[in-house]
Amino acid sequence: MEARVRRKSSSEENRDQRPAYDNERYWTPKEIAALLRVSVDFAARLFENEPGVVILGRPVSDRRRRYRTLRVPDHVFQRVLTERSLFKVNQTPYTKRP
């Protein structure tokens, strides 16, 4: 008796070829604002022009206000925090005078 080998469907093959960060967490501006203790508007402005951020919405028209949904991938969140932080890791914020 022959053993049958199940062939993967095209969707299963595509799932195997996805990037490693496909399963990473996506942050909302509200979550970021709560974590950093800033306003939601500031958190959205901080990330809206960063590469890799997902912005969902419709095109801007003259008569209607802009509605959009931002989702920030975890790797972008970590990169922006590292780039914009005042003190880098393992760097002392000041030097102690003798």
What is the reported pLDDT for 37? 93
Output the pTM of the full model. Answer: 0.61
Q: 2-20: per-residue pLDDT in tens?
A: 556 656 555 555 555 555 5
In a domain, 59, yes or no: yes
Residues 6+ apart with CB under 8 A from 60: 66
SS (H, E, C) the chain: CCCCCCCCCHHHHHHHCCCHHHHCCEECHHHHHHHHCCCHHHHHHHHCCCCCCEEEECCCCCCCCCCEEEEEEHHHHHHHHHHHCCCCCCCCCCCCCC
What is the reported pLDDT for 7? 62
In a domain, 46, yes or no: yes
Whether pLDDT at 56 is above 90? no
In a domain, 17, yes or no: no
In a domain, 90, yes or no: no
Band of residue 87 on the pLDDT scale cut at 50, 70, 90 = low
In a domain, 98, yes or no: no
Quote the domain boundaries for residue 80. Answer: 22-84
Which one is predicted more confidently, 62 or 70? 70
In a domain, 5, yes or no: no
